A and B are shown apart, each in its own frame.
Chain A
Amino acid sequence: MLQAILKGKGGSIAEDIPAGASLRSVFSKSEDMLTAAVFGRLAYLEGPVLWQVLKKAFRPDILPDRSVVVIDKVQFWPNWATAADQDGERIQPDVVLNMRIGEPAQEIVLIIEAKLGSVGQNPVQWLNQWRAHKASLGDTGELSGVHFLAIGGVQGRPELVVASFMDRIEETCGYRFSAAAGNWNDLLDALHAINVSGSQRRVISDLVEILAMHGHRRILPMAPLGAVAALLRTNYQLSSNVLSSLPLSRDQANRKTQ
């Protein structure tokens, strides 16, 4: 949220939000606010924890297994001012994470493009951002260790979407790059699968609530309770009768103090 305000993002309020609507309503419809809130919070996780969350949330599994992870920099909407797409629009990924992993340390750059609601990911946008990053590095830039992560708006199985996009990108420019995708529910599942405690647990809880405000909440439905009950079924009445027959002072049983 702070990042969204600092960067002048968040846009203007959507037209379908009535006057006097709560900040929560505004927040729940803003892609920029969701991105800022989620990745701003993710940046507070310890490096190895964040790495595990990202590995669990995105497919295919392109991020190497590493236990040593350091977050060097988190940039929101970096201004790659020299880059523009075919329509002259400035190219701005949503988040760029600069990290170091492993021993000896390897530099990693994660370029993240976020979508909200029914707006789908777009291979043209992926390619534009890849090219813009490459341009921002200049002649000395090294693209190994750079990965593209797309979150939200992944319409289909992430591995298949990524493969399809890479096919189209290769047809356009003759090369592919390292990319993975996932939806906000995949991030939610990843957060639930992480075991941490203390302040890290509070960050995870905040992230779960942020996603819930956008309609992503993990629930256990009632339907499977039938199967649970079948495993535990017994004649409880007999046991209830046994327990009721235990000696008990009626005075104690009937006393209720306000």
Chain B
Amino acid sequence: MMQAELDHAMTDVRRAYRLIWSYQRRAMHLVQLMGDQFSEMSFFLWSNNRCENPPRADVNPMRGWAWDMLPLYGASFLYLPHGADRTNPRKGDWMLDICILADTGFQYDVDDNEPDQSSFVEPLLARSELCLIAWQCTADISTSWRSIWKNNDWPDGNEVPLEHPDASIRVMKKTFDLAKIPDEHAVKKSAFEFKEAVAKHFGIVERTP
């Protein structure tokens, strides 16, 4: 390989990181603003929703995937009503999952190896998405919300509730194209549409602040 090619590649790496920062700065603001639309709820926890979270400082990150060090490539930000029981939710309690997916083209490797981006679909054929997801208990549960989120799947469809009878949980997702959420007005409109869907399917009423 020519040195010039590697030099050029490293220039592109610098460009890419700066673009990623610009995107992530805005994505975090978007999540924050979206959270503000649910005035009765507080931030609970966040997680990488495709891979592991970045490890603690005393854990060797080289033993994990490089994807683990890109947590906002696909992340969920979970919110609970103020004062909610985090460890033993009751029937009817619900949790909001604000999910940002920078690239729907991500694909797990069939042999469980670390996914290689060169095998993903062409970026033009993938999307960047914001998903608003409601998790609701259908009975009293003796499991934490963290476990519920970690061990149960999202529905595939848009606004099609999915029941997990073994877990006494039901889930509903509304998906938006991130490229169609350019500003504050669009964020608020998305929140409003999601609240309508949650009211319709789960009977949960969230006021607009």
Interface of A is mostly: helix
Instruction: Indicate if the CB atoms of B36 and A240 lie closer than 8 Å.
Output: no
Let me know if A221 is at the binding interface, CB within 8 A. yes
With the chains together, A89 CA to B56 CA distance in Å?
Answer: 60
Q: How large is the interface on A (under 10, 10 to 19, 20 to 34, 35 or more residues)?
A: 20 to 34
Whether A254 lies near B113 (C-beta < 8 A) is yes
Contact partner, B178, options A24, A222, A254, A255, Cβ 8 Å: A222
**Listed stretches A78-86, A93-101, A223-231; interface member:** A223-231
In the assembled complex, which residues on chain A have CB atoms less than 8 Å from the CB atom of B23?
A: 225
Residues of A within 8 A of B33 (CB): 217, 219
Partner among B11, B36, B63, B117 whose Cβ is within 8 Å of the Cβ of A212? B36
Identify which of B6, B11, B114, B118 contacts A256 (C-beta below 8 A): B114
* Complex CA distance for A256 and B69, rounded to whole angstroms: 13
Tell whether B19 is near chain A: CB-to-CB under 8 Å: yes
> If A219-B33, A222-B178, A240-B117 touch, does A257 touch B64 (CB 8 Å cutoff)?
yes
Contact B82 A24 (CB under 8 A): yes
Binary CB contact string for chain B from 77 to 90 against chain A (1 if under 8 A, 0 otherwise):
00000110000000
Kindly state the separation between the CA atoms of A22 and B6 in the bound complex, as whole angstroms: 57
Bound-complex Cα distance A124 to B117 (A): 66
**Is A6 interfacial (CB 8 A cutoff)?**
no
B200: interface (CB < 8 Å): no
Are A220 and B40 CB-contacts (below 8 A) given A244-B118, A254-B114, A255-B63? no
User: Nearest Cβ in chain B — how far from A233, in angstroms?
Assistant: 8
Over the window 215-258 of chain A, the binary record of Cβ atoms lying under 8 Å from chain B Cβ atoms (1 yes, 0 no) is: 10101111101001100101010111111111000000111110
Contact A221 B184, beta carbon cutoff 8 Å: yes
Q: Give A28 to B208 CA distance when docked, in angstroms.
A: 12
Pair A22/B82 contact, Cβ less than 8 Å: yes
Known pairs A222-B181, A253-B113, A257-B63; A242 contacts B1 (CB<8 A): yes
Asked if A221 and B182 sit within 8 Å, CB to CB, the answer is: yes
Cβ A239 vs Cβ B25 within 8 A: no
A185 vs chain B, min Cβ distance (A): 12
Does B103 lie at the interface of the complex (its beta carbon under 8 Å from any beta carbon of A)?
Answer: no
Contact A243 B9 (CB under 8 A): yes
Out of A215, A219, A234, A257, name the residue touching B15 (CB < 8 Å). Answer: A234
The chain A residue with its CB closest to the CB of B8 is A239
Q: Does A21 contact B (CB under 8 A)?
A: yes
Please tell me if B32 contacts chain A, counting CB pairs below 8 Å: yes
A3 within 8 A of B: no
Chain B contacts of A239 at CB under 8 A? 8-9, 11-13
In the bound complex, do residue B40 and residue A219 qualify as a contact, i.e. CB atoms below 8 Å apart?
no
**Does B39 lie at the interface of the complex (its beta carbon under 8 Å from any beta carbon of A)?**
yes
Tell me if B63 and A222 are in contact (CB < 8 A): no
> 1/0 per position for B8-33, CB-CB distance to A under 8 A?
11011101101100110111011011
Which residues on the A side are within 8 Å of B16 (C-beta)?
232, 236
Interface presence of B209 (CB below 8 A): yes
- Closest Cβ of chain A to B9, distance in Å, is 4
Query: A25: CB under 8 A from chain B?
Result: yes
Q: Which of A225, A232, A256 contacts B64 (CB 8 A)?
A: A256
Residues on B with C-beta less than 8 A from A241 are 118
**Binary CB contact string for chain B from 35 to 47 against chain A (1 if under 8 A, 0 otherwise):** 0100110000000
Minimum CB–CB distance for A13 against chain B, Å: 15
26 pairs of residues in contact across A and B, judged by CB atoms under 8 Å: A21-B40, A22-B82, A24-B39, A25-B39, A25-B40, A217-B32, A217-B33, A220-B25, A220-B26, A221-B26, A221-B182, A221-B183, A222-B26, A222-B183, A225-B23, A225-B26, A229-B19, A232-B15, A234-B12, A238-B8, A240-B117, A244-B116, A245-B1, A246-B1, A253-B113, A257-B64
Using A240-B9, A254-B114 as known contacts, list a sample of 15 further A-B pairs with CB atoms less than 8 Å apart, ordered by residue number in A: A22-B82, A23-B82, A28-B39, A220-B26, A225-B23, A225-B26, A228-B19, A232-B16, A232-B18, A236-B12, A236-B16, A238-B9, A244-B116, A246-B1, A254-B113
